[in-house]
Amino acid sequence: MSGLEKRLDELYAIGAQPDGGTYRGLYDAAWAAGVERVERWLKDAGLETRRDAVGNLWGRAEGTEKGKSVVTGSHIDTVRRGGRLDGALGIVAGLTAVEALLKEHGKPRRTLEVVAICEEEGSRFSTNFWGSRAIVGEIDLVDPEIAVAMRERGLDPGRTASAARDDIDTFVELHIEQGAVLESSGTPLAVVSAIVGTAHLQITVTGRPDHAGTTPMTLRHDALTAAAAMIQGIEAIARSLGPPAVATVGRIRAEPDQMNVIPGRVVFTVDLRHADLAARRALEQRVRSICATVASERSLKLEIGVLQEKPPVPMHPDVRSVLGRAARQSGVQSTELVSGAGHDAQILAARCKVGMLFVPSIGGRSHCPEESTRPEHLELGTAVLRQALQIIAY
C-alpha cells in the first residue's frame, strides 16, 4: 500500500462511525485528533507548522525568493457518515506532493504551503466555508455557539480577523469529482474550468382542493398535475441546454395530502446550476417562464421565491493552463470539467489565483461510506498535482 493510501486510511479511521463512514465535525474531538495527525505528518515532511485563529493548519516550506505563497490542500471536516476522500484527499495528496518535491528538489523558489482548512461542509454548525472565509477575511461576526466550541479547542474567537491572508498567490486543490462524468467517459483526470453558480427557487402552485370522486377532470384546479407539468418542463429545459446546465427538483409537498382529495397547493424546490452567470440566469428565466405558462394555462396561482443565489466562479486561466500542462507532462489524459459542487477554491478566488483537479468517483458516489476512487487514479492525480506545484514553485 502506498503512503498516500495509508494516510487516507489513518485519517478515515479518525471519526469512524459505528454504522460506517466517518464524521469529523468542526472543533469536535475527532476533528481535533485529525488536525493533530496531519500536523505530525507536516512536521515529518519538514514543514514549519502553525494554526491560525480559526484552526486552519498550515505547513510551510519557505522559498528562496521573497513573495506570495503557493498553497495546496483541502478541508479536514466531513459530513456525517462521510467518505474516505472528500477533503482528506486534497490534504494528503498535497502533503505527499510537497514532501516528494522537497526531498527531490530541495528548497522551492517560491514559498510552498500545505493547508488543512478547518471547515467547508457545514459539518456541525449552520455555517459553511468557515476556514476559507476566515482566510479571505470575510468573517465579521462569530456565532456564539461557534465561539464556545472554538474556546474549547483553545482558539480565541476575538482573534478571528487575524486568520485573513493577503500573501497567497495561488491555491491548487486535488479533489474527487463527486459525480460520474469522468468515470462514464473513461477519463482519469479533469482540470476544473469553473465552479457552478447556484440558484435555489421555491415554487408554490395554488389551485383548489376538491373531491377526487365528484369533480370531473375538466372542472379541476389541480396543483399537483400542474406541478408535474412544470417539473417535466424544467427537466426538458436543462436537458436541451446541455452540460453544464443542471436543474433538480429535490423537495415536493402536496396539500392537503389526502388520497381522495385533489391537491389544492403544491410547494417544490428547484436547484439550478451553470458555470456561466448569464447562462445560469437564462436557465432560471426559462424555468420561470415554463412555470408561468403552465400556471396560466390551468388558471392557477404561482409564486416563485429565491431561497439562495450564488454566482459561478471561474478558475484562474493561468492555473488551468499550468494544470493542463502538468497533466500532459505526466502523460495523463485529462479533460476540462465544471464543478457542480461547491469548494473552498470558490471562496479563496476572491484573494488569489485558484485551480482544481478532479479524479473520478466510482459510481459518482460521494458524501457516503461508499465514496471511492481507484488507487491508480489517486496516484495519478497526486502526480499531476506535484508536477503542477513544481512548475509554479520551482
- Interaction mask 118-157, a copy of itself, x per CB under 8 A: ----------------------------------------
Closest-CA residue to 80 (of 128, 127, 20): 20
Q: Does 222 bind a copy of itself (CB under 8 A)?
A: yes
Q: Does 246 bind a copy of itself (CB under 8 A)?
A: yes
Q: Treating both helix axes as pointing N-terminal to C-terminal, what angle do 317-329 and 375-393 enclose, rounded to 10 degrees?
A: 120
Q: Does 311 bind a copy of itself (CB under 8 A)?
A: no
Indicate which single residue of 162, 258, 285, 296 sits in contact with a copy of itself (rule: CB under 8 A). 258
Work out the number of other CB atoms within 10 angstroms of the CB of residue 239. 11
Output the nine-digit C-alpha cell for 213.
370522486
Indicate which single residue of 262, 348, 352, 384 sits in contact with a copy of itself (rule: CB under 8 A). 262
Q: Does 39 bind a copy of itself (CB under 8 A)?
A: no
Indicate which single residue of 148, 161, 219, 306 sits in contact with a copy of itself (rule: CB under 8 A). 219
Q: State how far the Cα of 371 lies from the Cα of 297, in Å rounded to an integer.
A: 45
Q: Does 277 bind a copy of itself (CB under 8 A)?
A: no
Q: Does 218 bind a copy of itself (CB under 8 A)?
A: yes
Residues in 156-195 that interact with a copy of itself by CB under 8 A: 177-181, 184
Q: Does 211 bind a copy of itself (CB under 8 A)?
A: yes
Residue 344 vs residues 82, 120, 169, 385: alpha-carbon distances, Å: 17, 7, 15, 17
Q: Which range of residues in 112-120, 121-129, 132-140, 258-266 is near a copy of itself by CB under 8 A? A: 258-266
b/e per residue 358-391 (b: at least 16 CB within 10 A): bbbbeebbbbebebbbeeebbbbbbbbbbbbbbe
- Interaction mask 314-353, a copy of itself, x per CB under 8 A: -------------------------xxxx-----------
Q: Tell me how many degrees the CA angle 334-335-339 measures, rounded to the nearest 5.
A: 120
Output the nine-digit C-alpha cell for 367.
458524501
Query: In this structure, is the dihedral angle defined by the CA atoms of residues 186, 189, 191 and 195, taken in order, positive or negative?
Result: positive
Q: Does 228 bind a copy of itself (CB under 8 A)?
A: yes
Q: State how far the Cα of 251 lies from the Cα of 275, in Å rounded to an integer.
A: 23
Closer residue to a copy of itself in complex, CB, 78/178: 178
Task: With beta carbons less than 8 A apart as the criterion, state whether 117 and 73 touch.
Answer: yes
Closer residue to a copy of itself in complex, CB, 164/368: 368
Q: Does 299 bind a copy of itself (CB under 8 A)?
A: no
- Cis previous bond, 263, omega within 30: no
Contact residues for a copy of itself (CB under 8 A)?
177-181, 184, 196, 198, 200, 210-219, 222, 224-225, 227-229, 231-232, 235, 238-239, 243-252, 254, 257-263, 269, 271, 273, 307, 339-342, 364, 366-367
